[in-house]
Structure 1
Amino acid sequence: MKLMHESRILPIEGGYNFRDLGGIITGNKTIIKSNYLIRTDELSRLNTNDLEFLADLNVKTVVDFRTAEERKSSIDRVPSTCKNEFHLDIMAANMNAFMQKMQSGLTDYKHMMQQFYSDLVLEENAMKEFKEFFSILQNKENCSVIYHCTAGKDRTGIATALILKSLNVDWNTIESDYLLSNQFLEKKYAAYIEQNPSLADIFLVNAEYLQGAFEKIVEKYYSVDDYLTDHLNVDIDLMKKIYTK
């Protein structure tokens, strides 16, 4: 029997973490529409077949969460149907500080990642960019949407968790989808982790990271729904109308 998440994996040859949110069941027993919300890692390695496949899905929008430096070294390839490319530099300053910490020899990678995730949901720049992201999503003319960062696991993972929460998906499903990144990225980062096993705390995801970020939201903003509606300007009813059936 084919598992639900297996039916959501897109047959992309030039990407490691390409999957559709379509097919996920919400708490209202509705289903997220297929081909409307696609999460992935960087798009620079897409080949001709990949681009044709995405064009067949009528991908209209690509949202790139990477910093200018990341984009400079790895340029997105987008399908011919793409009409809009949005660059939302999430955590640019924090990413630079994060890299400096790594280069300085600090090795408590788990603590660094926990702080990074906290910043992703509380830091002013990140919230500003996620607010813009939801503005893009709430324009039906932009569908279907591919959104990504470099690995498609942290910035993209938080974005996905917030999307799923806005669509009333239960926490176990949100967490399970988040953790699937480990399955798809294992090969991409295997050589690094083999050389230094502690790097798994950076190159793979951890349920503690996501849980901790959402606990920070609740601690500061009372509830995730309040955070979404009052601070990211998410129209939950509109999100459900556009993305579920």
Structure 2
Amino acid sequence: MSISGAERLIPVPGVLNFRDAGGFPTASGGRVAEALLYRSASLHQLTDEGSRHLAELGLRTVIDLRSQIEREVWPDRELDANVQVLHLPTFPPRVPEQQARDERDAEAGAESLDGLYAYMAATAGPAIAASTRALARPGALPALVHCAVGKDRTGVTVATIQSALGVSDADVVADYHLSNSALGLDKGPVYYVDEHGEERRSSPIHPALLTGFLTRIRATYGDATGYLLAHGVTQTDLTTLRATLL
């Protein structure tokens, strides 16, 4: 039995969409540990109170999935010196900026979102694998994975890891879909100004986006574990991560 949606959200002042990615049962009869893997939006508006809250969680690692320009425009607030911050961008660095923006622009509606998730299934494997390897390092946990708002890039990264841990698709998708209510997208699109100073529309996500992502990677790699192994995660990495998180 999984934790209900509202109970998964953790109020951290200055950070949107913050929640625990653990607590779910797995196919092996185990359970993903809580208070070890978190997910959220960026930390650039983190308040003093929020910073103290994160310190209480004992974070050791923060994985930032955003592009370099996003990090320059909206730098995360610095955390305790004991926290290692890793920049592991989801989108390939050699893709021309305009093309990358077109591919990832989830603000124009459902068709754009569909294209974004197909693009991530095809190109995000190395980045998701790098995040998985980072989480498997000794002393890496508790850890936080975040992008700009914590729904798309963070969504597929965390979903792939949860699936590789044996969490059911129903629970993986339910956790992913919680971003809508956490960001106010359950009431419709939200407008914002992007890192280039242009107004954008952040659209609600829907379960078919993530199930489509999972279907695509399974079609080629069999399952989430095969996807990670094909992109550089070792069996030792997975064994270590499972021993720590399950």
Equivalences for residues 201-212 of structure 1 within 5 A: 202-212=202-212
C-alpha distance 189-56 of structure 1, shift in aligned 2 (>3 A): farther
- Which deviations, in whole Å up to 9, do the C-alpha atoms of 1:98-156 show, x marking residues without a partner? 535799xxx96322221211221222xx2222221111011131111111000100010
Aligned-pair distance for 1:73? 1.1
Distance 1:217 1:238, change over 3 A: same
Residue aligning to 1:157: 155
CA distance in 2, matches of 1:155, 1:114: 13
1:78/1:37 CA distance change after superposition, 3 Å: farther
Identical counterparts, % of pairs: 25
Query: What is the CA deviation profile of residues 201-235 of structure 1, one whole-angstrom value per residue up to 9, with x for unaligned ones?
Result: x4321212111111111222233332123334153
In structure 2, C-alpha distance between the alignment counterparts of 1:7 and 1:78, rounded to whole Å: 28
Residue in structure 2 matched with residue 243 of structure 1 by the alignment: 245
Return the match for 1:169 from 152, 155, 167: 167
Residues 1-245 of structure 1: matches in 2 within 5 Å? 4-80=4-80, 82-91=82-91, 92=93, 93=95, 96-97=98-99, 99-100=101-102, 109-123=109-123, 126-186=124-184, 191-192=190-191, 202-235=202-235, 236-244=238-246
Shift of 1:27: 2.1
Q: CA deviation at 1:161?
A: 0.5
Please give the root-mean-square deviation of Cα atoms over the aligned residues, in Å. 2.7
The letter for the 2-side match of 1:7 is E
State how far apart, in whole Å, the 1-side matches of 2:49 and 2:42 are.
16
SS at match of 1:141: coil
* SS across alignment from 2:156: helix
Superposed displacement of residue 191, structure 1 = 4.9
Contact 1:51 1:79 in 2 (8 A): yes
For residue 238 of structure 1, report the CA deviation from its aligned partner.
2.3
Aligned to 2:196: none
Amino acid at match of 2:157: A
In structure 1, runs of 5+ residues without a counterpart are 194-198
Gaps of 5+ in 2: 193-199
Question: How has the CA–CA distance of structure 1 residues 217 and 240 changed in structure 2, closer, same or farther, with 3 Å as cutoff?
Answer: same
Count of residue correspondences: 232
SS at match of 2:184: helix
> Is contact 2:14-2:45 (8 Å) kept?
yes
Please say if residues 62 and 82 of structure 1, whose CA atoms lie closer than 8 Å, have aligned partners that are also in contact: no
Could you list the runs of 4 or more consecutive aligned residues of structure 1 that deviate by over 4 angstroms after TM superposition? 100-103, 187-191
CA separation of 1:210 and 1:184: change in aligned 2, threshold 3 A: same
In structure 2, relative to structure 1, the CA distance for the partners of 1:165 and 1:69 (3 Å cut) is same
The 3 A distance-change label for structure 1 pair 234 and 117 is farther
Q: Distance in 1 between the 2:152 and 2:68 partners? A: 17
Partner residue in 2 for 1:196: none
Displacement of 1:84: 0.9
**Paired AA for residue 241 in structure 1:** A
CA distance in 2, matches of 1:227, 1:102: 21
- The structural deviation recorded for 1:4 is 3.4
Question: TM-score scaled to structure 1, two decimals?
Answer: 0.84
